[in-house]
């Protein structure tokens, strides 16, 4: 009969396991992301400055154009960064295609033994910077473009999400799906640093809603028209569907006492809404 380890024994056991992933590949990814868009910007700006000289554009007009040129350079930087990362993504896909699976995170000689996990680490590191730059730029809507273009996610043009963490790959947000503030959608979960790694697509179907501070784990699916309440958890591989209601909550998100959020609205607000609609 196997002995169950106490938390202290587990901590002592893990304390002896030290992993130092190779730094050079991650440094080169950063260098690639920073430098390659600069060449594109230099080329475009060089053409513009050449036109200034050729057509003898006045200094005043150049000053007027400069703010628009500066903003367009930021847009061009994000766009070109996404394209260059897409090229790198395709190169890695030839070596080890991104796929849904459960991977063993065994380490040897300072790196993971499974090449698929190694490339998963590289892809995850590559995604973060372009997504952060797009979110903090003048063009926050470019996050969807970056996630679709660079990581092959499926994010519908009518999908909406607020200030939250959206999974970097294997995400499917369908027409009119909504992810509210403070949510976390993750297509991967690590059981522990030395445990398994689960990578599986997360899906919110048409008109599905994940309310504020909700969480979705890998393999989670919110069915069409379903709403998951605030502070709820869609656990790993859970399919949220209910024939008796389109509003659930809890951990896992299964509880329901009302058919929809409309049932939670106080009656005086409902009566006011009816009066206003009748007047119109």
pLDDT exceeds cutoff 50 at 2:
no
Contacts of 263 by beta carbon, 8 Å cutoff, 6+ apart: none
pTM metric for this prediction: 0.82
DSSP run (H or E) holding 148 = helix 142-151
Say if residue 257's pLDDT is above 50.
Answer: yes
Q: Higher confidence at residue 132 or residue 270?
A: 132
Asked which of 96-110, 124-138, 229-243 is least confident by mean pLDDT, the reply is 96-110
Q: How far apart are CA 142 and CA 42, in angstroms?
A: 22
Can you give the pLDDT at residue 244? Answer: 82
Q: What is the pLDDT of residues 118-152, one digit of tens each?
A: 999 999 999 999 999 998 998 988 999 999 999 87
Distances (CA, A) of 97 to 116, 118, 227, 261: 8, 12, 33, 42
Task: Give the number of other CB atoms < 10 A from CB of residue 98.
Answer: 17
Least confident of 7-16, 62-71, 191-200: 7-16
Is the distance from CB of 200 to CB of 237 less than 8 angstroms?
yes
Q: What's the confidence (pLDDT) of residue 1?
A: 41
Task: State yes or no: pLDDT of 280 exceeds 60.
Answer: no
Amino acid 270: pLDDT: 65
- What pLDDT, on a 0 to 100 scale, did the predictor assign at position 274? 59
Q: How confident is the model at residue 273 (pLDDT cuts 50, 70, 90)?
A: low
Residue in 101, 244, 248 with CA at minimum distance from that of residue 170: 101
- The Cα–Cα gap between 178 and 76 comes to 29
**Beta strand 196-199 pairing with 188-190:** antiparallel
Predicted confidence (pLDDT) at residue 99 exceeds the cutoff of 60: yes
User: Using one digit for the tens of pLDDT, what is the confidence trace for 167-201?
Assistant: 889 999 999 999 999 999 999 988 766 678 899 99
Structure tokens of 217? 């784990």
């Amino acid at each position: 009969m196997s002995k169950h380890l106490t938390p202290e024994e587990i901590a002592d056991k893990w304390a002896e396991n030290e992993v130092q992933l190779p730094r050079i590949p991650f440094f080169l990814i950063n260098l690639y992301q920073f430098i390659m868009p600069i060449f594109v910007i230099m080329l475009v700006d060089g053409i513009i400055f050449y036109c200034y000289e050729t057509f003898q554009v006045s200094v005043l007009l150049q000053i007027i154009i400069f703010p628009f040129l500066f903003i367009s350079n930021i847009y061009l930087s994000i766009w070109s960064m996404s394209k260059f990362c897409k090229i790198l993504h395709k190169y890695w896909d030839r070596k080890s295609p991104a796929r849904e699976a459960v991977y063993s995170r065994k380490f040897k000689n300072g790196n993971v033994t499974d090449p698929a996990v190694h490339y998963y680490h590289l892809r995850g590191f590559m995604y973060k910077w372009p997504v952060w730059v797009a979110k903090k730029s003048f063009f926050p809507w470019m996050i969807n473009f970056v996630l679709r273009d660079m990581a092959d996610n499926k994010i519908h043009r009518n999908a909406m999400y607020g200030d939250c963490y959206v999974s970097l790959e294997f995400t499917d947000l369908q027409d009119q799906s909504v992810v509210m503030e403070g949510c976390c959608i993750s297509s991967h979960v690590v059981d522990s640093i030395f445990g398994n790694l689960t990578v599986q697509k997360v899906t919110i179907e048409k008109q599905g809603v994940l309310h504020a501070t909700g969480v979705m784990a890998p393999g989670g699916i919110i069915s069409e028209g379903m709403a998951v309440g605030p502070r709820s958890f869609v656990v790993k591989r859970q399919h949220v569907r209910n024939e008796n209601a389109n509003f659930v909550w809890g951990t896992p998100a299964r509880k329901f006492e009302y058919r929809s959020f409309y049932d939670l609205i106080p009656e005086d607000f409902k009566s006011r809404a009816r009066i206003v609609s009748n007047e119109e």
